[in-house]
Structure 1
């Protein structure tokens, strides 16, 4: 098994809103950073600062002791890990594979089993905290996998997050992220409804936020996205299209467990309406437009 002291070369696949900041923390810590993304321009800044660009997943796999993925959808994860030209087919024996994408718990289990059969160590480690948490290395990281594997990469994960919790076996990290997304889904409806109500009542939204964010109504979404809503800033810390994907995974997983989640179902319905109106590439705070109809 690769140990923490053996890790020199770290691969990072997926340099989006959060991934680029996460990868930069690794580069700044002195690791040799290898990057791959389907849009080469997204890697330009990191390459200019010393990262090594790869034009294929397989070539990166052969060069790194640890590879981290932070991509969009479960289908992307499946292709990157389980495809003929993917990580499991080409990674060094003993390498650690860390999927930080929000993906399917069942897929995480499949990846773990396939990796173990090849002498590799896979963990699922989705994150929460958005673009701000990624920039400030304050992400919450939820982990599923073997304890020894988590320990081997803990120092690397600590470069990106401040709340790192091993939740259980393979898939447990993804299940925990589903809990996170379920909580956010209904909370975002509450945040937007509260601010829409404040506006209709003729109140100053900033003053209302000052009163309610430190009380029983307080939440990360209220404190961090509430000001963006008031400022009319819809730029994504997390894309609506990805949130819809996450809610779909959560609804499917809940159905498999015979659990009814009406709040989650309603939130997805509202976000789908926004996506149909062209907001899919905006941040989750754009839900305010359901209530203002603008």
Structure 2
């Protein structure tokens, strides 16, 4: 299969590089063309637009920031839809919501185009190492076709169900990530106030009952004072908004998640949204 990647940011760039190494990458597109330069130097075609990319591939992978950006890439001027042909498979690997996924799928179906929602977790580290967890919604037969593509950069790939179920699972995941991160930040603040050796603190928190994927990914960076993003605070804030919208509609109390959202809102309000999610202590 010929695969095209739209969005060469923190996650998309290493994912595309793994696809290139697997011999699957046929084209890339990024709004800022300079980010495509490394691929151009490798002989990969750099498309002039999402439509141009869609004409040249069998599978389009898109990973940009939020639903309005995704909609623009798919259906805006020179978007994927303009270059799409029947049988094309479009995969949205950004995080938005099940409603958006179903909306995208319905619009592409009118063009004879298949659609999967397949958000990822594992952060930049997982993308670089080709060890992402991928949660997929859509037709199972389409999922099976695209599975070799996912295997180029994913370690755990789970078919969740119909369109929208990938995004639903990602919102569940983000709630757990956010609450783990709040716990980590407050635990480290307490440890420092008590005068504990932070290396020993890290040893306990990543080896005992408090252990979590978020702790393992972000605690070493936090203790080194490295606040650069493996995943941006602004993006987690956006994901928590989607999750709590569902909770409110379902009359489902989620007070801890609501608190996490308020903290990440403060991150964004103070101009800290581009920092990693582990930089949350900056608002305390």
Instruction: Tell me the TM-score normalised to structure 2 length.
Output: 0.97
Corresponding residue for residue 34 of structure 1 = 27
Distance 1:12 1:98 in 2: 10
1:47 aligns with 2:30: no
Corresponding residue for residue 257 of structure 1 = 250
1:214 aligns with 2:207: yes
- What are the equivalent positions in structure 2 for 1:230-245 lying under 5 Å apart? 230-245=223-238
Offset of 1:95 from its aligned partner? 0.8
Corresponding residue for residue 4 of structure 1 = none
Distance 1:288 1:119 in 2: 48
Corresponding residue for residue 172 of structure 1 = 165
Offset of 1:84 from its aligned partner? 4.8
Show structure 2 runs of 5+ residues with no match: none
Please state whether the residue corresponding to 1:97 is helix, strand or coil.
strand
Distance 2:244 2:174 in 1: 11
Distance 1:64 1:36 in 2: 12
Distance 2:83 2:254 in 1: 40
* CA RMSD, 1 decimal: 1.2
Query: Is 2:26–2:56's contact at 8 Å kept on the other side of the alignment?
Result: no
Corresponding residue for residue 181 of structure 2 = 188
Count of aligned residue pairs for this structure pair: 284
Offset of 1:222 from its aligned partner? 1.2
Counterpart of 2:96 (choices 103, 111, 120) is: 103
Counterpart of 2:279 (choices 273, 279, 286) is: 286
Query: Is 1:274–1:280's contact at 8 Å kept on the other side of the alignment?
Result: yes
Q: Deviations over 1:90-120 (max 9, x none)?
A: 2121011010001121010011112222211
Query: Is 1:82–1:111's contact at 8 Å kept on the other side of the alignment?
Result: no
Show structure 1 runs of 5+ residues with no match: 1-6
- What are the equivalent positions in structure 2 for 1:1-294 lying under 5 Å apart? 7=1, 9-291=2-284
Which aligned segments of 4 or more residues in structure 1 are displaced greater than 6 angstroms? Answer: none
Query: Is 2:59–2:91's contact at 8 Å kept on the other side of the alignment?
Result: yes
